[in-house]
Structure 1
Amino acid sequence: MARSETKNDAKNDASVKSSPRRSRPPRRGLLTPVAIIVATVALVLVAQQVLHGLPHWLNPFAEETKDRSGPVLLKSIRDLHRYEAASGNFQVVVDLEKDAKFLPSSLRGKRTLFVGNGSVDAYVDLSRLGSGALKVNADRTAATISLPPAQLEKTNLDTKNSYVYATQRGVFDRFGDFFSSNPNNQQQLYVLASQKIQTAAGQSGLKQRADANTKSMLENMLKALGFKTVTITPAPQ
């Protein structure tokens, strides 16, 4: 029995030695490109921080602004027949976030906080006063004016006092911004801020204030001309 077990063990050892071992897939070939990409991104970020810390005259990538604009061309002039009756100043914080669907924000994504300051004017278009808008009695002591409603101008965004308060960017976004600039992103912030201010102006009672101020102005002007009674009515739409 001991001899037969020894032979069986020898056969088993021989079969184990003769069986081919499974080859493991090489990991070095897969890790090398990833390591190169990570090292490149890290090197670019470090270089960006170092270059920003250098004085302007030592930084080889420092920008120099030169104004090569031509003269301003006057295209047209138009007369305005409106009374600027009220103006509102507004401030809005735009929170704009862009992210990738399947990547964390630390890798791919950008969030910007933008503070927008602007104003909206309310006016009454006096050119809409028709021939029958002003009615005067026979002895010129009473006048009735049919006044159109106030309207809102477009938002006048103060770009000088509007600014980016904070920006959070992912690694890939930082890498891309190092080589290129995106002026459309700033323009998008301006557009969003203007739209939000315009909406707020329409809900702020600015037009009602303009109507009241215009009515008061016309009453005082006509009374200074000798009219004792002045009546302001809304014009038919």
Structure 2
Amino acid sequence: MARDGDSNEPTREFPEYPTGDDLRARSGATGDPIPGPAPASGRGVGDEPYPGPSPAAARPGGGAVRGLLAVLGAAALVVVALIGVQATGILPDFRNPFAKEQTDRSQPPLLKSIRDLSRYVAAEGDFQVVVDLQKDRKNVPDFLLNQRTLFVGAGSVEAYVDFSRIAEGAVVESADKKSVEIKLPAPQLGETNLDLDKSYVFAEERGLFNRINDLVAGDANRQQQVYQLAEDRITTAARDSGLTARAEENTRKMLEGLLRSLGYQQVTVTYTAS
């Protein structure tokens, strides 16, 4: 408790704080405001409002986030506006700057030769073959060194009769001109034409070393052996399919109909051994 003689003196428990008049006097003397402790009510000394912390300062990074959202919103509005203008047809179409491009630098075709053909294509066979080719090494795991290709090949083979090989005296006409006999060379099989539009690699397995070798060296003709095997298999199948016999029958029917239309009553077509 304070004594009676010291009633005007501040207590020791509560330190003396300067009043508003004292602070204003000091501020006028020096020219600079002297901040004082902020009261609990949020007001500064001299009943002036105490500036509290701003929302941006209370939340670190809040201003940057709002700025980023504003930029994204503006960009979205620009995109929507451009799409709307494009839809109206006022401006030309906007192209994708990263769109795929294809450049053809192929050279013009070069004519190497011309052959006169005298063949009659009497039959044609369409074939399909599945080639399963695997290349690996003994005692080496497949995941390290292995190459297996499953290829579906589609191709066609023609059977024809070469009229340029008809020998002299092969056409014999009877004295009464009512019958004729023709000797033709045996039908032949043409080259196998592999249809690349219908042929495709169904599956492929490659080891780790094979993939590394492709990255380092590469092999543009890696599938060439698979194509060649497919052609060989189709050619063998065409020989065993009776395609040449169908060509003989079709050629005979064609000549019989043609010569009968010319007035011959009997037409005989035979084939010589090839």
TM-score, normalisation: structure 1: 0.70
Partner of 1:228 in structure 2? 265
Trace 1:57-206 onto structure 2 (pairs within 5 A): 66-206=103-243
Aligned partners of 1:66 and 1:202: how far apart in 2?
42
Offset, 1:235: 2.2
Matched, 1:210 2:247: yes
For the residue of structure 1 that corresponds to 2:154, the secondary structure is strand
Name the structure with the higher helix share. Answer: 1
Partner of 2:4 in structure 1? none
Opposite residue 198 of structure 1, the aligned amino acid is T
Aligned partners of 2:192 and 2:102: how far apart in 1?
29
Gaps of 5+ in 2: 1-97
Aligned partners of 1:112 and 1:196: how far apart in 2?
16
CA deviation vs aligned residue, 1:80-114 (integer Å, no higher than 9, x gap):
11100000000001101000122011221111100
Distance 1:106 1:90, change over 3 A: same
Offset, 1:77: 1.5
Aligned partners of 1:179 and 1:64: how far apart in 2?
26
Aligned partners of 1:112 and 1:187: how far apart in 2?
12
Aligned partners of 1:72 and 1:107: how far apart in 2?
43
Aligned partners of 1:195 and 1:65: how far apart in 2?
34
Opposite residue 119 of structure 1, the aligned amino acid is S
Offset, 1:163: 0.8
Opposite residue 209 of structure 2, the aligned amino acid is F
Root mean square deviation, CA, Å: 1.8
Partner of 1:54 in structure 2? none
The percent of aligned pairs where both chains have the same amino acid is: 53
Offset, 1:148: 1.0
Gaps of 5+ in 1: 1-56
Aligned partners of 1:229 and 1:199: how far apart in 2?
37
Distance 1:236 1:102, change over 3 A: closer
| Higher Cα Rg, which structure | 2
